Homo-oligomer: A and B are copies of this chain.
Amino acid sequence: MKKVQLNPVGWMSQLSQVEVAQLQDSTHSDLYDMFRNCCLAVLNSGVDEDNFEVLFAPYDDFDVKLIRRERGVKIELINPPEVAFVDGKLVHGVHEHLFAVLRDLLYMGNKYAFLHQTAPVDGPSTTDMVFDMLRHAKALEGNDELNTIVCWGGHSINLNEYKYTKEVGYQLGLREMNICTGCGPGAMKGPMKGAAIGHAKQRYKKGRYIGISEPSIIAAEPPNAIVNELIIMPDIEKRLEAFVRIAHGIVIFPGGVGTAEELLYLLGILMNERNAQQPFPVILTGPAGSEGYFEAIDEFIGATLGEAAQSKYQIIVDDPPEVARTLRADMEKVNKYRRAMGDAFSFNWSLKIDPPFQRPFVPTHKTMGALALHQDQNVADLAVVLREAFSGIVAGNVKAEGIRQIKEHGPFSLTGDPDLMTRIDGLLKSFVAQQRMKLPGSEYKPCYTISRGK
């Protein structure tokens, strides 16, 4: 049995004894399984495998313990994957990531007891909590130069699209912008890789490659090799909020239903009339040949949320320098607005996010079945519901818990307004046709059925 003990780094290297005691207590909680799994995912950083079952299979005998010492806490790895070690020594970046997992899951988890929390939390305190987590992760300290670009997109895009994400990242890097993504492969890795080259050419030493994950997704999307700051938000809604509050601009690459979920979340917020004055650069972009994705999405949004929603983003096809130039130019507006508001550069406090966007949505057959999928409501409410629908489909596709439910009870059933359901069906089918629902090569078996209500 191989054992490796790790000294704490970062915030976790300075804990009070009461904090250490709480951490150790938490090892008996059900948080602990999640902690163990996230550690295992992190130890597989950079491994090209997004099926968590395949990834985890060889590591049945892996375990992780917390060792309490007078001075604080150590992590002990039992039978960790060899891939994380170089000549018997844990790779430094992975070491940092493991303590990020400890910090975000157990330490912050103790502080807020927020996990598995499905009851609505009132607005301000969710935001304060998101802020506090980013602050502890030191993600805000270097974030005051208006250069954090959040990139969303699929984790299994084709090679042409992947190269394009690298090229956009390169152009952003040349303009000394940093990259924040969801932390996995594909469109989450390409922009970081490109930016790293751009930063090197500009001798820019402060390159940040921030990965924001959450416990149920990190196993399917372990941090890629470039991520140098890892943050694990407790659930998908807080992860989304972290993205939009840390971002100075957002680029959306082709992706699947997860990417659509992110876009719907974002549009729902930006359409809030209290955010009407907020300059918030959003660019949808992809290489020549990927126009189909954006056309389908754009058409769907036009038909459901309307032109107002469409006005919130700009589509740029096959022009990486233009993407980067546009964002760089938009920073001036962001700068002016934040100054006028007295808002921070590092965290967008002035963006209003209404409670429905913060409320954790736990997809089950019941909650999915109950979604109010009709257009007889205002567009912000519709955006919420659509976001939730797509979120459930992501869960059914790739998350352990979702897959388990589907296996047990069959596909989720979505019911609603016939016209809307037709549009949803059309969009999802276009994703299937473009092979965006699963890894290329495998055939996609839907985790949902669409029923057109009367």
> Which of A156-186 touch B at CB < 8 Å?
171, 174-175
B-contact bits for A8-39, CB 8 A (1 contact / 0 none) = 00000010111100000000000000000000
Closest partner residue, chain B, to A140 (CB atom)? B14
> Which of A35-59 touch B at CB < 8 Å?
45-46
* Interface-centre pick from A17, A94, A127 (highest chain B CB count, 10 A): A17
Shortest distance in angstroms between A314's beta carbon and chain B's nearest beta carbon?
Answer: 18
| A132 beta carbon closer than 8 Å to chain B | yes
Q: A201, B350: Cβ atoms under 8 Å?
A: no
* Interface-centre pick from A19, A45, A202, A204 (highest chain B CB count, 10 A): A202
Number of residues in A with C-beta < 8 Å to the partner? 53
Shortest distance in angstroms between A348's beta carbon and chain B's nearest beta carbon?
Answer: 10
Residues on B with beta carbons closer than 8 Å to the beta carbon of A225: 197, 200-201
**Which of B70, B171, B328, B338 lies in contact with A343, CB distance below 8 A?**
B70
Shortest distance in angstroms between A14's beta carbon and chain B's nearest beta carbon?
Answer: 5
Q: Given A17-B124, A124-B18, A201-B94: A343 and B71 within 8 A (CB)?
A: yes
Closest partner residue, chain B, to A19 (CB atom)? B128
| A273 beta carbon closer than 8 Å to chain B | no
B-contact bits for A320-347, CB 8 A (1 contact / 0 none) = 0000010010000000001001111111
Q: B93, A16: Cβ atoms under 8 Å?
A: no
| A310 beta carbon closer than 8 Å to chain B | no
Q: What are 17 A-B pairs at a CB distance below 8 A?
A: A16-B127, A69-B342, A70-B344, A70-B350, A71-B344, A71-B345, A71-B347, A72-B344, A86-B174, A87-B328, A92-B201, A93-B201, A93-B203, A96-B203, A197-B225, A197-B226, A200-B226
Top 4 closest pairs, chain A to chain B, by CB: A71-B344, A69-B342, A16-B128, A70-B343
A-side residues, CB < 8 A to B, are: 14, 16-19, 45-46, 69-72, 86-87, 91-94, 96, 124-125, 127-128, 131-132, 135, 140-141, 171, 174-175, 196-197, 200-205, 225-226, 228, 325, 328, 338, 341-347, 349-350
